[in-house]
Amino acid sequence: DVIRTFDQIVADFGALDGLVNNAGITRDALLVKFKDGELVSKMSLDQWQAVIDVNLTGVFLCGREAAERMVRLGSKGVIINISSISRAGNMGQTNYAAAKAGVQAMAVVWAKELARYGIRAASIAPGFINTEMVQAMKPEALAKLTANIPLRRMGEPDEIAHTVQFILENDYVSGRCFDIDGGLRL
């Protein structure tokens, strides 16, 4: 499906100049949880694999197919991977943190590997952005998270879009990750 999609893009538009690799699901669970010395739960392989498949493997496949077409067509494009500030690790998110750290690492590797073809790669690591995924959180949890953000608010999707635009327009940006988090990781 991925190959067919990218072939169709080239057939429809004649070129591929950019890719914003934006995929993300969560299946949060503690690695292991004990109570009174007894195992209560642990992250399942299904929880692990679902997140890795979408958040990491999907980004890899799209990046690979986009890069191939950019090189073949000489389009000197840009690949932007959407990571997350959670790449640094949040409790209950072994799978998500691993995937998003991998997404950021791929952008660095691709920036090095693809520069010889005039292709740039970078990543954006959003913090808490006002999206359906974040809005699905419990109101008490959202209030607590927002209180910990130095700017005292969640980000908006258009603030991520502005960062995408900045990367696309600045021909000297490559290999960097931009944390867009209201100062949360300071």
* SS3 state at 40: strand
Within 10 A of 119 (CB to CB), how many other CB atoms are there? 21
Contacts of 8 (CB under 8 A, 6+ apart): none
Which residues does the annotation mark as catalytic?
Answer: 96
Angstrom CA distances, 161 to 5, 116, 186, stand at: 23, 27, 22
- Give φ, ψ of 152 to 5 degrees: 60, 30
Is there a contact between 98 and 47 (Cβ–Cβ < 8 Å)? no
Vertex 147: Cα angle to 145 and 152 (nearest 5) = 110
Query: b vs e for 72-89, b when ≥16 Cβ sit within 10 Å of the residue's Cβ?
Result: eeebebbbbbbbbbbbee
